[in-house]
């Protein structure tokens, strides 16, 4: 059986190691989140454009000119 005591330095070293892993994961997730946000913005823009175009076509006035 190992009876080594855990010291404050051991705990601090382990916490620093975990913090570095979390920071690395956070940085990589930020780039994915930014790309996803940009994709959502483009998608919302396209849906709004398509809906406006359809509505504009439906409500447009047709003017008929007749020559007598």
Q: pLDDT tens digit string along 14-67?
A: 999 999 999 989 988 888 899 999 999 999 999 999 888 776 666 667 788 888
The rounded distance, in Å, linking the Cα atoms of 40 and 21 is 29
What are the CA-CA distances from residue 6 to residues 16, 19, 20, 41, 44 (Å)?
16, 19, 21, 51, 54
pTM of the model: 0.49
Backbone angles phi, psi at 60, to 5 degrees: -75, 145
């Amino acid at each position: 059986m190992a009876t080594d005591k855990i010291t404050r330095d051991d705990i601090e070293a382990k916490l620093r190691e975990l913090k570095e892993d979390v920071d690395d994961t956070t940085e990589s997730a930020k780039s994915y989140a930014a790309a996803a946000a940009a994709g959502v913005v483009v998608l919302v823009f396209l849906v709004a454009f398509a809906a406006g175009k359809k509505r504009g076509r439906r409500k447009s006035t047709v003017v008929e000119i007749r020559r007598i």
